[in-house]
């Protein structure tokens, strides 16, 4: 079978591998779709935290069941996976938080992932399709990231919140914050991304801080209060540091994006707000179920996110183009 390996930053290689064989606790799946995410692009560029080479990328997946000991799955059945493989024994796992397991192995990050014809994964990670299409299934994982952060934020109906970053994760944050009843303003320095969200995801309030006075606009949006919840989906150090200035008194700041540097903010300004700072990592099976139910019921339609497609055999030549801003990629999908 074929697999695509990122040997070093900026270098892909198409290789032949042995077909995986079933083992106790594991199942073999046939990959049909791989969504390309920021983690994959950063890994290819050489600036992804917690990463080593060589690595087979890919963790946003739609697949078909081949064989294994997963209960209730039939050969050829469509599925997706929760790609955060956990130990089951650490304090996080014991407390029901396998998404931040102390010994977590994220598929396609810490271990080889889904850019291959067939892969072996823990049977507990398989998730039935629920009638979703292959494209929809491959979008569940990035949307679950947003759904998990919205759950962490405990957003109340009518809250006015700020999402910083208009990429796929930011879009997921907007969609699930709206489902929770929030009024959302979306911030990004990329005007094309903001326009895309206005056109496709009913985002009426946007801010480009390079062109507009962000603080003044947020005060207007919130009638002077400032957002009670701020969520970062940029992974950009400057954007993360700046957003500390956007919180309401008593507000929450949730970091979804990840960057390599140090966070810097004014302790007195943070303290006087009695603000809450938290991270949001990965997602849980409950988040996956929430996302899939929302798609199946038509409450959200994520398919407009897919702006570009690659065939599996074209990844070596086409993948480097996905990070070129002039191509205006929102979400690329690899058809396997």
Is 175 found in the same domain as 252?
yes
| CATH number of the domain to which 63 belongs | 3.90.180.10
Burial 183-210 (b: 16+ CB within 10 A, else e): bbbbbbbeeebbebbeebbebebbbbbe
Distance CA 2, CA 125 (A): 23
Is 320 found in the same domain as 247?
no
Percent of the chain past pLDDT 70, that is, above it, reads 99
Decide the pairing of beta strands 126-128 and 160-164.
unpaired
Residue 93 in domain: yes
Residue 53 in domain: yes
Residue 195 in domain: yes
Is 92 found in the same domain as 49?
yes
* Predicted confidence (pLDDT) at residue 48 exceeds the cutoff of 80: no
Is 270 found in the same domain as 318?
no
Is 95 found in the same domain as 25?
yes
Distance CA 75, CA 321 (A): 36
Residue 295 in domain: no
pLDDT tens figures, 199-223:
999 999 999 999 999 999 999 999 9
Is 58 found in the same domain as 170?
no
Residue 191 in domain: yes
Count of structural domains, the chain: 2
| CATH number of the domain to which 189 belongs | 3.40.50.720
Residue 137 in domain: no
CA distance between the termini of the chain: 12
Q: Calculate ∠ Cα 249-253-255, nearest 5°.
A: 170
Is 110 found in the same domain as 17?
yes
Distance CA 80, CA 114 (A): 11
Distance CA 34, CA 113 (A): 10
Is 272 found in the same domain as 159?
yes
Residue holding tokens 């507009």?
A: 212
Cβ contacts of 101-104, under 8 Å, gap ≥ 24: 104/282
* Predicted confidence (pLDDT) at residue 50 exceeds the cutoff of 70: no
Is 89 found in the same domain as 50?
yes
Structure confidence at residue 301 (pLDDT): 97
Distance CA 20, CA 63 (A): 15
Structure confidence at residue 51 (pLDDT): 80
Is 271 found in the same domain as 236?
yes
Percent of the chain past pLDDT 90, that is, above it, reads 93
Residue 284 in domain: no
Q: Structural domain of residue 103, as residue ranges?
A: 2-129+302-335
* 107: three-class secondary structure by DSSP: strand
Is 148 found in the same domain as 248?
yes
Reported as a pLDDT band with limits 50, 70 and 90, residue 259 is confident
pLDDT tens figures, 150-186:
999 999 999 999 999 999 999 999 999 999 999 999 9
Q: What is the mean pLDDT of residues 101-129?
A: 97
Distance from CA of residue 209 to its chain's centroid?
A: 23
* Predicted confidence (pLDDT) at residue 77 exceeds the cutoff of 90: yes
Distance CA 102, CA 86 (A): 8
Q: What is the mean pLDDT of residues 104-110?
A: 95
Is 152 found in the same domain as 125?
no
Residue 286 in domain: no
């Amino acid at each position: 079978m074929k697999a695509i390996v990122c040997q070093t930053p900026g270098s892909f290689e198409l290789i032949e591998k042995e077909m995986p064989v079933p083992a106790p606790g594991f199942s073999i799946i046939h990959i049909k779709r791989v969504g390309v995410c920021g983690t994959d692009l950063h890994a290819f560029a050489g600036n992804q935290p917690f990463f080593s080479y060589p690595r087979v990328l890919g963790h946003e997946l739609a697949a078909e069941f081949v064989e294994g000991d997963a209960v209730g799955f039939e050969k050829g059945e469509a599925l997706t996976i929760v790609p955060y493989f956990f130990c089951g024994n650490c304090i996080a796992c014991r407390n029901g938080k396998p998404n931040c397991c102390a010994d977590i192995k994220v598929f396609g990050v810490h271990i080889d992932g889904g850019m291959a014809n067939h892969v072996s994964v823990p049977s507990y990670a398989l998730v039935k399709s629920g009638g979703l299409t292959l494209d929809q299934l491959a979008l569940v994982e990035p949307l679950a990231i947003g759904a998990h952060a919205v759950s962490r934020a405990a957003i109340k109906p009518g809250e006015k919140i700020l999402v910083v970053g208009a990429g796929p994760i930011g879009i997921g944050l907007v969609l699930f914050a709206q489902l929770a009843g929030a009024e959302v303003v979306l911030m990004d320095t990329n005007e094309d991304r903001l326009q895309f969200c206005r056109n496709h995801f009913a985002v009426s309030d946007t801010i480009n801080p390079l062109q507009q006075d962000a603080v003044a606009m947020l005060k207007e949006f919130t009638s002077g209060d400032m957002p009670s919840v701020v969520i970062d989906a940029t992974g950009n150090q400057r954007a993360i540091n700046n957003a500390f200035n956007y919180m309401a008194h008593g507000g929450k700041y949730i970091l979804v994006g990840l960057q390599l540097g140090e966070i810097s903010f004014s302790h007195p300004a943070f303290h006087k707000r009695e603000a809450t700072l938290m991270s949001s990592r990965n997602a849980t099976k409950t988040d996956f179920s929430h996302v899939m139910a929302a798609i199946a019921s038509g409450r959200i339609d994520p398919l407009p996110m897919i702006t570009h497609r690659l065939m599996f055999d074209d990844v070596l030549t086409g993948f480097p183009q996905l990070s070129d801003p002039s191509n205006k990629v929102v979400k690329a999908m690899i058809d396997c």
